[in-house]
Amino acid sequence: MSSKLRILPLGGCGEIGKNMTVIEYENEILIVDAGIMFPENDMLGVDAIIPDYSYLNDKMDKVKGVLITHGHEDHVGALPHLMRDVKAPLYATPLTLGLIEVKLQRAGLRQNVQLREIQAGDAFAVGRFMIEPFHVTHSIPDCVGFGITTPVGLIVHTGDYKFDHTPEDDWPPDFAKLAEFSARNVLCLLGDSTNAERPGWTPSERVIVEAFDELFSQAEGRIIVASFASLISRVKQVAEAAERHGRRLAIAGRSMRDNIKMAQRLGYLDLPEGLLIDIDQANNLPAHKVAIMATGSQGEPTSVLGRMARGRHNQLRVREGDTIVISAHTIPGNEEMTHRIINRMFQQGASVLYEGNAHVHVSGHGAREEMKLMINLIRPKYFIPVHGELRHLTAHRKMAIELGIPDEHIAVVENGHVVEFTPNSMKVLDRLPGGYVFVQGSAVGDIGFPIVRERDELAQAGFYTAVVRLNDNADLLTAPKIVSEGFMSKSNVEELYEGACEIIANTASQYGMKSRHLDSQIQGALKRYLYAETGLRPRVFVVIN
């Protein structure tokens, strides 16, 4: 019996194989990416979500290497967790490595991890796997996908990609390498499905340059561009537009400043002498001489833009005549926050350009025609659509079928499904238990859905706790004490106090101290009382002390 190759896509909530992929052959394991996801609106209190890689718990010594496609959070954000357990080297291109280093440094892990710099076009062995990183274009420079030659066949993992013929760094995707893979017969393609519902071809990053040129030539006041801290290409575009139009550029937001410094140091961002100024300097220049890049494109309340919108930033205020550009796609779930900021900016007399009313952002992911090109360049035997919700994977599968990949050669799976390969077969195994892991504070995995559900209940109508002292006859020894929050106002709660005391006293004397569940009886009676009085259902607790 020949050995089998196993591929296990993992991810955060909803999106499949987005954040991590495990590739296993006999006693050797490769990991591709280890990213983080942001929680959805109803995952209350959760800071971040990391893939559930408990499959690796008893196999950590088999891991031979960690390959990283690019430096965005959803591909590297979980490394500070993963690299506590993995002892194998981590492979990434220079910019990606720079971003990872900062991250590991902050987590106090820099010394523990062997970082190996790679280049697109390299070929190197990791265990019995032969790794060939190939250049792809996205919205950050130095992105790669991976060709991985395994004893069972050649796997191609696209990473995040678009086919941008005119990228910001003038380095187009490596079509020749993809064609070469094809000639070597690709066993399985793992392809980015993000934009599987978007028809056509994603515009080049170059169209943003034109949009910014128009904007910079027309705006009379300051120009403030918000984007992701890691969108280095966008920083380059804004910087160049500022330079061309005689404005100086200030950077607001520490993460953005750190990333820019690093990109400059590594030669990915070549800014003219004197272009960058600090915010105080910017505040002393005439408005038409100033451009500012800031964090906050998702409406995050603690970001620079979020604080500016509420008048809470200590150096920057919105001024009448400002042009504010939100140069990013609003991630589903963040619409309300983003729109609130936009409305607040308009309220304060600024113009706001964003995806709703201007072309100030292009996607970093290829659209349908690009996905078709990828499939046809590679012509894989088997296909696993990844990076997307089930609706995207399903759309990607349909496209592949139209291109002649047989339906039974396509595996639309969810996170935690192992897909097993021989040179001539693909089989989807049962889904592993577990799902994704919530991170909050220093708690990794301790907060699960049961706790989140409790928070959700508390969020509906708060809580109402009665602390009760009774004597042996179940008479009240002292007046009950009430602790309540999130239910109603202090004065409303006070109005309910007398009635609550009566309920407590009556229930206690009705059931007596010998009742085994006197606290539950009082709890039930209080719940009914509060609901009858208010129509609300706070969580009710009773402590008999």
Q: Which residues are catalytic?
A: 192, 365
Q: How far is the CB of 352 from a copy of itself (least distance, A)?
A: 7
- Smallest distance, a copy of itself to C-beta of residue 164, A: 23
Give the span between the Cα atoms of 62 and 31, in whole angstroms. Answer: 11
Say if residues 28 and 127 touch (Cβ distance below 8 Å).
yes
Q: What is residue 339's DSSP assignment? A: H
Query: What is the H or E stretch that residue 207 is in?
Result: helix 206-218
Q: How far is the CB of 354 from a copy of itself (least distance, A)?
A: 8
Instruction: Tell the smallest beta-carbon distance from residue 412 to a copy of itself (Å).
Output: 8
Q: Which runs of E-coded beta strand occur in 286-326?
A: 290-294, 323-326
Q: Which two tokens stand for residue 238?
A: 């804004």
Residue among 323, 386, 292 nearest 32 (CA):
386
Which is closer to a copy of itself, CB of 235 or CB of 470?
Answer: 470
Phi first, then psi, for residue 103 (nearest 5°) are: -65, -45
Identify whether the C-beta of residue 151 lies closer than 8 Å to the C-beta of residue 128.
yes
Min CB(49)–a copy of itself separation in Å: 13
Give the three-state DSSP class for 214.
helix
Residues 6+ apart with CB under 8 A from 383: 188, 189, 191, 375, 397, 400, 405, 409, 410, 411
Of 217 and 347, which has the nearer Cβ to a copy of itself?
A: 347
Q: Which amino acid is at 155?
A: I
Within 8 A by CB and 6+ apart from 424, the residues are none
Contact assessment for residue 248 and residue 221, using Cβ atoms and an 8 Å cutoff: no
Indicate the DSSP class of residue 204. Answer: P
Phi, psi of 505 (to 5 degrees): -60, -45
- What DSSP assignment string belongs to 424-458? TEEEEEEEPS--EEEEETTEESSS-HHHHHHHHHH
Select 201 or 463, whichever has its Cβ closest to a copy of itself.
463
Residue 152 contacts residue 187 (beta carbons within 8 Å)? yes
Closer to a copy of itself by Cβ: residue 351 or 507: 351
Q: Are 85 and 60 in contact (CB under 8 A)?
A: yes
Per-residue H/E/C for 55-78? HHCCCHHHEEEEECCCCCHHHHCC
Toward a copy of itself, which CB reaches closer, 246 or 450? 450
Q: How far is the CB of 533 from a copy of itself (least distance, A)?
A: 8
- Residue closer to a copy of itself (CB basis): 270 or 457: 457
Closest distance of CB 69 from a copy of itself, Å: 24
Distance CA 496, CA 535 (A): 13
Residue pointed to by tokens 């409303």: 492
Pick the closer one to a copy of itself by CB: 122 or 355: 355
Residues that bind a copy of itself (CB under 8 A): 14, 40-42, 44-45, 197, 332-333, 335-336, 339-340, 342-343, 346-347, 352, 356-357, 389-391, 394-395, 414, 440-443, 446-448, 450-451, 454-463, 465, 467, 469, 478, 481, 483, 485-489, 492, 531, 534-537, 539, 541, 543, 545
481 contacts 506 by C-beta, under 8 angstroms: no
Nearer to a copy of itself, 197 or 213 (CB): 197
Rounded distance between C-alpha atoms, residue 34 and residue 11, angstroms: 9
CB of 364 to a copy of itself, least distance (A): 19
